[in-house]
Chain A
Amino acid sequence: MKRPNQLFRNLSAKIAAIPMIVTGLFVFVGGTVWTVVYSFTKSGLLPRLKWVGLDQYERLWSTKRWLVSIENLAIYGISMLVLVFVIGFILATLIDQKVRFENAFRTIILYPFALSFVVTGLVWQWILNPEFGIQSIVRDLGWKSFTFDPLYTPEIAIYGVLIAGLWQGSGLVMVLMLAGLRGIDQDIWKAARVDGIPAWKTYLFIVIPMMRPVFITTLVLVVSGIVKLYDLIVAQTGGGPGIATEVPAKYVYDMMFAASNLGQGFAASTMMLVTVALIVIPWAMLEFGGKKNG
Chain B
Amino acid sequence: MNYAVEIKDLDLYFGNVKVLQQLNLDIYKGEFLVLLGSSGCGKSTLLNCIAGLLEVTDGQIFIGGNNVTWAQPSERGIGMVFQSYALYPQMTVEGNLSFGLRNARMPRDEISKRVSRAAGILQIEPLLKRKPAALSGGQRQRVAIGRALVRDVDVFLFDEPLSNLDAKLRADLRVEIKKLHEQLDNTMIYVTHDQIEAMTLADRIAIMKEGKIMQLASPNEIYNRPRNLYVADFIGSPSMNFLHGEIKDGNFLLDGITIPLKGYEFAADSSQGGKAILGLRPEHILTGDNLASATVRTTVTVELVEPMGSDTLIYSTLAGTFIHVRMDGQARVSPGDKVEIGFQPERASLFDPETEDRL
B88 at the interface (CB under 8 A from A): yes
| B48 and A196 contacting across the interface, CB-CB below 8 Å | no
Please name all residues of chain A whose beta carbon is closer than 8 Å to the beta carbon of B87 when the two chains form the complex.
Answer: 191
A48 at the interface (CB under 8 A from B): no
| A191 and B72 contacting across the interface, CB-CB below 8 Å | no
| B73 and A194 contacting across the interface, CB-CB below 8 Å | yes
| A194 and B80 contacting across the interface, CB-CB below 8 Å | yes
Q: How far is the CA of A197 from the CA of B151 in the complex (A)?
A: 13
The answer, among A188, A190, A195, A210, for a CB contact under 8 Å with B100, is: A195
Q: How far is the CA of A195 from the CA of B81 in the complex (A)?
A: 11
| A190 and B90 contacting across the interface, CB-CB below 8 Å | no
B267 CB, nearest partner CB in chain A, Å: 41
A183 CB, nearest partner CB in chain B, Å: 12
| B104 and A191 contacting across the interface, CB-CB below 8 Å | no
Given contacts A195-B99, A201-B103, contact A190 B72 (CB under 8 A): no
The answer, among A188, A198, A201, A209, for a CB contact under 8 Å with B86, is: A188
Q: How far is the CA of A160 from the CA of B86 in the complex (A)?
A: 45
The answer, among B75, B79, B80, B99, for a CB contact under 8 Å with A190, is: B80
| A190 and B103 contacting across the interface, CB-CB below 8 Å | no
The answer, among A187, A206, A210, for a CB contact under 8 Å with B82, is: A187
Q: How far is the CA of A276 from the CA of B74 in the complex (A)?
A: 48
Per-residue A-contact encoding for B67-97, CB less than 8 Å = 1, 0 else: 0000011110011101111111110000000
Please name all residues of chain B whose beta carbon is closer than 8 Å to the beta carbon of A210 when the two chains form the complex.
Answer: 89-90
Q: Contact residue range for chain B? A: 20 to 34
A185 at the interface (CB under 8 A from B): yes
Given contacts A188-B86, A209-B90, contact A194 B48 (CB under 8 A): no
| A190 and B53 contacting across the interface, CB-CB below 8 Å | yes
B147 at the interface (CB under 8 A from A): yes
Q: Is the interface of A mostly helix, strand, loop or mixed?
A: helix
Please name all residues of chain B whose beta carbon is closer than 8 Å to the beta carbon of A205 when the two chains form the complex.
Answer: 88, 90, 99
| B74 and A188 contacting across the interface, CB-CB below 8 Å | no
- Interface residues of A, count at CB 8 A: 17
Q: How far is the CA of A194 from the CA of B74 in the complex (A)?
A: 5
| B79 and A187 contacting across the interface, CB-CB below 8 Å | no
A14 at the interface (CB under 8 A from B): no
Given contacts A201-B103, A209-B90, A210-B90, contact A196 B72 (CB under 8 A): yes
A228 at the interface (CB under 8 A from B): no
A residues 165-217 with Cβ under 8 Å of B? 185, 187-188, 190-198, 201, 205-206, 209-210
A207 CB, nearest partner CB in chain B, Å: 10
Closest A residue by C-beta to B78: A194
The answer, among B52, B86, B100, B148, for a CB contact under 8 Å with A187, is: B86
- Minimum-distance CB pairs A-B, first 10: A196-B74, A195-B100, A187-B86, A209-B90, A191-B86, A187-B82, A194-B73, A193-B73, A194-B80, A187-B84
Residues of A at under 8 Å CB distance from B? 185, 187-188, 190-198, 201, 205-206, 209-210
Residues of B at under 8 Å CB distance from A? 48, 51-53, 72-75, 78-80, 82-90, 99-100, 103-104, 144, 147-148, 151
- A/B interface sample: 16 pairs, CB < 8 A: A185-B86, A188-B86, A191-B144, A193-B52, A193-B72, A193-B73, A194-B74, A194-B79, A195-B103, A195-B147, A196-B73, A198-B103, A205-B88, A205-B99, A206-B90, A210-B90
Given contacts A190-B73, A191-B87, 12 further A-B contacts (CB under 8 A): A190-B48, A191-B82, A191-B86, A191-B147, A193-B72, A194-B51, A194-B78, A195-B100, A196-B103, A201-B103, A205-B88, A210-B89
